[in-house]
Structure 1
Amino acid sequence: MSDLDMSQYLGIFLDEAEEQLQQLDEAVVQLEQTPDDQELLNTIFRAAHTLKGSSASMGFNRLATLTHRMESVLDSLRQGKLAVSREIIDILLASVDTLRALKDSIAAGKGEEGDVNEVVARLEAVLAGPAAPVANKAVANAELTLDDIEQNVIRAAEVKGFRAYEIRVQLEAGCQMKSARAYLVFNNLKELGEIIKSVPHTQDLEAEKFDDTFTLAFVSREDADTLANVVKSVSEIKDVLVRPIVLEEDQPAAARAGTAPGKPGVEAAGGKNGTTAPAGEHHVNQTVRVDVQRLENLMNLVGELVIDRTRLTEVGNGLKNRLGNEELLETLEEVSLHIGRITSDLQEEIMKARMFPIDQVFNRFPRMVRDLARKAGKEIDFIIEGRETELDRTVIEEIGDPLIHLLRNAIDHGIEEPEVRLRQGKPRHGTVRLKAFHQENQIVITVEDDGAGMDAEKIKAKAIARGLISPESAARLSRREALDLIFLPGLSTSDKVTDVSGRGVGMDIVRNHIEKINGTIDIRTTPGKGTCFTIKLPLTLAINRSLLVHVDGRVYAFPLANVVEIIDVTPDSIQHVHRQQVVVVRGRVLPLIYLGQALGLGTPIPAADTYAVVIVGLAEKQVGFIVDDLIGEQEIVIKSLGNFIGKIPGIAGATIMGDGSVALILDVRSLMNFVGEEADRELAS
């Protein structure tokens, strides 16, 4: 293939290779837990086979050679010549790692940099070693199962007028020349069509590594009776069963309910009295690859439409107030409403196009947890729930690293060694659970373990020893606040440094990443029982619902996800504790501050009979911000301030209002930190 052709198809090849490698990585780890899962083995084999074919067609010989050796090992596992073991799983995972390194090298424009000889030699050593004793495996595998490639061959044959059959042949008991009888069956059928698959494999039939039954997938233009008679013409044949193969999507619902994918249907499904689904009822979802930047551009354009929709509504209302209900204004209002509906629908569809299952992030973790657990000498059951939960692509990109740190900490800090767990009355296997689900307009991700838990007093002692906090400040901390100390840079609760943890980096990165995408993280822990980290994230970072307020003649937006409630307070209800304004709300003391003061505007709080207070919260912390006036809730398009302006304390971004003016979006965490620092300064003075 020429360089021009290579460049033309390289992007598609790399995308598909990444999908196949991710599938291999996940499925091989799963195979270690369920070694008898034949369908899982078929899935792994198909992924390796697909990658081999695409690599060979692109001229990447090292990739093709390694996947071909993997195929051989996997085929031996499928046929029962080898049994799944930890050593084989290790070799297969090492092969996947080597394949990924080759793929990354190709993506970087360096070609196939890397040596495959070592891992190929390990695979060949497995094939050359003594076969594992798996009793009667050939008979167990006599059931015909078709993979995707074989099903596609059958579909192509059916288009040309062929019919697909399952032919099950049973030889006489005590047949002395089983391989010869099988050969004659093959030879006789060869004149009438084509054999797609043999179970057991033809090599096992030739070596007589089967009992007295074998099964064929066969395509032919002949009918079932003719094929049965041809097979019966061979001597020492006890019985022959010929029945149509009905692929899953071609079956009626009733037949499909009891038939596994790629397996022959019952005879009635394809017989004279059987019914088939009308062609028009079958629907196949079609997909197309789209550059992520195009989705970003579409989202920006939709954002502009949302802004103009709001402006159009305001202009229409202004004209109506001036001119009354004139006919042209009624038409304008009708058109405005229609544009509003279309814009909302378009916005929703673009949002859905940007949504991806979180499975794309979760898939990488089973392998990581397995490797870390083996390295740490721990036994861990890793459970994933909510793989299908969808969230915005930009959020998915940011959440991977925090989850990696949390899982590593759960394995290294949380889960105890097996002997320690047994002494404590726990099972040897620790459990780490990763879960995702939707909650209102947020996505919630939890990382939970049943390990040692965290001790708030120990965390405070570590923080004091590292000089991160004074003993006086530590004494004033609540248990909740003491646990939050683990997010300080340089703090580690580990007593020893490993290559996984103990250096005091990681948890501060977790919080910084989560704050970057307007999320929150909370801790729930019980010493000796375990720890649960709860992450709450917005579904998207592009468009969000916010509460708009007036302060000092300007408009500001509180992200609605952070708004707990809105209350009115009177000046005489405001009290002072260490010169910090507070108000008592349902028995709870709430810090209070004028938003203009928190933003550094330098304007005093205006005199009023009552103040509107917006209570915002992060985890269990809550602060009340006094504002001049409430505008209301509105959907806003978030715009970055850009590199020239840079990061401004208290401000997360900006949005364009319906009248064309700019409103600033508030960074709630930064504002709450300001309140805490202000209280500390007042206390110190």
Structure 2
Amino acid sequence: MTPEQMRDASLLELFSLEAEAQTQVLSAGLLALERNPTQADQLEACMRAAHSLKGAARIVGVDAGVSVSHVMEDCLVEAQEGRLRLRPEHIDALLQGTDLLMRIATPGDTSTDAAVQAFLVQMAALLDPSASPVPQAPPVLVEPVLVSEPEPLPEPLLDPLGEPAADLSAPRKKQRTEGGERVLRVTAERLNSLLDLSSKSLVETQRLKPYLATLQRLKRMHGQSIRALDELKMQLEVSGQSAEVQEALGQAQRLLGETQQMLLQQASDLDEFGWQAAQRAQLLYDTALACRMRPFADVLTGQSRMVRDLGRSLGKQVRLEIEGEKTQVDRDVLEKLEAPLTHLLRNAVDHGIESPEQRPLAGKPEEGLIRLRASHQAGLLVLELSDDGGGVDLERLRRSIVERQLSPAETVAQMSEAELLTFLFLPGFSLRDKVTEVSGRGVGLDAVQHMVRQLRGFIEVSQRAGEGSCFHLEVPLTLSVVRSLAVEVGGEAYAFPLAHIERTLELPAEAIVQIEGRQHFWHDGRHIGLVAASQLLNRPASETDGKSINVVVIRERETLYGVAVERLIGERVLVVMPLDARLGKVQDISAGALLDDGSVVLIVDVEDLVRSVEKLLSTGRLERIERGHRTSREIARKRVLVVDDSLTVRELQRKLLSNRGYEVAVAVDGMDGWNALRSEDFDLLITDIDMPRMDGIELVTLLRRDNRLQSLPVMVVSYKDREEDRRRGLDAGADYYLAKASFHDDALLDAVVELIGGAQG
């Protein structure tokens, strides 16, 4: 490539950057002029942008760009001078010209000649009303030009008067400006590497703390050695030792004194170095993290234009109002939010906003309004996308659910509004009868929900009939860093993201209750299931003091569980280190990180963890939490396990035995009972025979094969009073068989006393 060709290539690249910046100015200004065609500042900004693009196109020899921007400039100048009032058809044409300029400036796009000629003819007709009318092209829906990593605006190629910049081929051509500062292109991989290295540097500085602590101990020991020598010298002087001995002792004292000074100086220097290193490492880490953050406005490039064009194509007037554009968000999050936000905005225009004929009948202005709010909240990016449309037709939604056979009509009729709205997120669900290019294409809100969940966030919808709908999204501000609560489970560190933690508490052992054979505790007016983190994470269970249990209450949408852990380490801001892809999906774990001391911590995938809990519940393998060592009074109290699938029978037996002083636990079937027997100590088992999953005969058979449990007394209580049933129970290993049909309070209690004695043994 010759120097001239290289220069031309660099100029074309700069022209493309210039077009990207100036077309954004044009799009924003033209949308504002559509609402108020006489805004002088917006007319001036748009005219300047068209003028700059004309000069830039002339410099790089792009004649089509000169022609298009020139006719756009003429139109805007006439509007400035009052000779022309911008009407919707003018705005449509100017926006099409803006898109055309971006196509002209895109390297490799050579299919613009016909479009340029058609545009020039259309603009000529609009600027000269006396000319023969040209059929107006319908507004073209142009998808906004989106880049994976939005960049700041480039430095202008031209000065405000349209003169060429000083030296376009100089090395500074790759630089951009943001707020007056130079901005350079950096790959995402390098940013990630920088953040990783800075986090490790921050961890490394923490390793100086043990050395400082050791030096402090050494200083104390040094002082003790000096005092010991002083006492020895006094004793030697009293005992009248020779001068040589005293001289040697004095020499040792002088050497210790000198080393003490050196030690004090070194300790002071190391302390200062450690503090400075920690400050620099923290600053490096904060700066690296800030490099990944971008304003939320970067994901909105072209969205206002898309909403306006889509509304025009549907015959609606729609305006997008944005709040919180400067909210800082991680680049990766912004990139992944682009598609779901675009779909939600299109959905709001198509489904939410009514036609201009319907809105006045409801007392609304003809122009529909869509609001998008972005804000920070507890380490999360909170987005609210609302419209002032008609809301969701709940009756139509009910009919659609029944027609699609998603739920019986009787059930649908009793559903709450929130329950009905969740059906909107099912795959392929739509309230539209016809498939259109705008919506109803089978890729609906389920795709949005899937993408939001990939970001470890959630989405929900609410509506007010006749007043509009609102989508509420919460996603992490960054995928690189997560605010977490570090805990200890089975001697290892794990971290729960704060976004999924409802609260932490120290739960007294006596606050744990048994409901339907499972452990619960009472919190904020509801019973919350209690599970052991050690079982979920496959760690060995640890002994507790029996007085209290540390519990982390996790939330996944409307589901709450209490997770018992050994120790709460504290809140930490962790730099996420993705697991090796070769590991695949690790159950209940999302990533790893390093704590301040350099030790590894695994970050819990709370959504996956909740699924694991529900799976254990459905299979009956959820283990109970050992409440620690029992007191002598509790040890003396006999413990009985009642296993029966009938709630009435369970409660009857539990009350009878509890009133007599026995401690009673219950299980809902044989599998649940078997888990209880393996995790806790009992003095007696009382079981039914006919139960789901595992019947009483199977339970007793398993128990008699277990070395630890084979001597446990067993009573079978069954409705079956036939001799063969009694024989089956006793042959399996039961010690006593009692028929429910004939037993009464005293019969049961007498049998228990006969087998294990009184409650206090």
TM superposition score normalised by structure 1: 0.70
Point out the more displaced range, 635-644 or 470-479.
470-479
CA distance in 1 between partners of 2:414 and 2:87 (Å): 55
Gap change, CA 1:621 and 1:19, over 3 Å in 2 = farther
Partner of 2:129: 129
> 1:656: how far off?
2.5
| Residue 438 (structure 1) aligned with residue 334 (structure 2) | no
Gap change, CA 1:558 and 1:123, over 3 Å in 2 = same
Point out the more displaced range, 342-351 or 284-293.
284-293
User: Aligned to 1:431, what secondary structure does the other structure show?
Assistant: strand
User: Aligned to 1:290, what secondary structure does the other structure show?
Assistant: coil
Instruction: Give aligned pairs, total.
Output: 538
Gap change, CA 1:123 and 1:418, over 3 Å in 2 = closer
| Residue 285 (structure 1) aligned with residue 180 (structure 2) | yes
Gap change, CA 1:103 and 1:645, over 3 Å in 2 = farther
What letter is aligned with 2:186? D
What letter is aligned with 2:180? N
> 1:98: how far off?
2.1
Partner of 2:64: 62
Contact 1:460 1:485 in 2 (8 A): no
Query: Radius of gyration: which is bigger?
Result: 2
> 1:114: how far off?
5.8
Partner of 1:51: 53
| Residue 664 (structure 1) aligned with residue 602 (structure 2) | yes
What letter is aligned with 1:511? Q
| Residue 527 (structure 1) aligned with residue 423 (structure 2) | no
CA distance in 1 between partners of 2:356 and 2:274 (Å): 67
Gap change, CA 1:102 and 1:591, over 3 Å in 2 = farther
Partner of 1:304: 200
Contact 2:390 2:466 in 1 (8 A): yes
Contact 1:653 1:664 in 2 (8 A): yes
| Residue 391 (structure 1) aligned with residue 329 (structure 2) | yes
Partner of 1:509: 447
CA distance in 2 between partners of 1:417 and 1:598 (Å): 53
What letter is aligned with 2:604? L
In the TM superposition, what are the counterparts of 1:394-413 in structure 2 within 5 Å?
394-413=332-351
CA distance in 2 between partners of 1:318 and 1:538 (Å): 40
Gap change, CA 1:150 and 1:421, over 3 Å in 2 = closer
1:292-314 Cα distance to aligned partner (Å, 9 max, x none): 44444432332222232344445
Contact 2:15 2:105 in 1 (8 A): no
CA distance in 2 between partners of 1:318 and 1:452 (Å): 70
In the TM superposition, what are the counterparts of 1:71-86 in structure 2 within 5 Å?
71-86=73-88
RMSD across aligned positions (CA): 3.5
Partner of 1:341: 279
CA distance in 2 between partners of 1:460 and 1:674 (Å): 32
What letter is aligned with 2:444? G
> 1:492: how far off?
2.4
> 1:548: how far off?
0.8
Counterpart among 26, 37, 40 of residue 42 in structure 2: 40
Point out the more displaced range, 616-625 or 459-468.
459-468
Contact 2:55 2:162 in 1 (8 A): no
What letter is aligned with 2:93? I
Gap change, CA 1:128 and 1:424, over 3 Å in 2 = closer
Contact 2:319 2:369 in 1 (8 A): yes
Partner of 2:29: 27
CA distance in 2 between partners of 1:531 and 1:72 (Å): 42
Contact 1:306 1:637 in 2 (8 A): no
Gap change, CA 1:678 and 1:89, over 3 Å in 2 = farther
CA distance in 2 between partners of 1:88 and 1:440 (Å): 46
| Residue 119 (structure 1) aligned with residue 110 (structure 2) | no
1:475-507 Cα distance to aligned partner (Å, 9 max, x none): 997654543333232222444432222244232
> 1:47: how far off?
1.5
Point out the more displaced range, 285-294 or 531-540.
285-294
CA distance in 2 between partners of 1:314 and 1:478 (Å): 59
Contact 1:303 1:543 in 2 (8 A): no
> 1:5: how far off?
1.9
Point out the more displaced range, 295-304 or 77-86.
295-304
Partner of 2:708: none
Gap change, CA 1:21 and 1:488, over 3 Å in 2 = same
TM superposition score normalised by structure 2: 0.63
User: Aligned to 2:527, what secondary structure does the other structure show?
Assistant: strand
User: Aligned to 1:93, what secondary structure does the other structure show?
Assistant: helix
Gap change, CA 1:457 and 1:432, over 3 Å in 2 = same
> 1:547: how far off?
0.9
Gap change, CA 1:70 and 1:428, over 3 Å in 2 = closer
**Ranges in structure 1 where 5+ consecutive residues have no aligned partner:** 132-147, 157-283
> 1:384: how far off?
1.8
Contact 2:490 2:541 in 1 (8 A): no
Gap change, CA 1:63 and 1:301, over 3 Å in 2 = farther
Gap change, CA 1:406 and 1:331, over 3 Å in 2 = same
User: Aligned to 2:98, what secondary structure does the other structure show?
Assistant: helix
Partner of 1:416: 354
User: Aligned to 1:451, what secondary structure does the other structure show?
Assistant: coil
Gap change, CA 1:528 and 1:318, over 3 Å in 2 = farther
In the TM superposition, what are the counterparts of 1:246-257 in structure 2 within 5 Å?
none
Contact 2:296 2:329 in 1 (8 A): yes
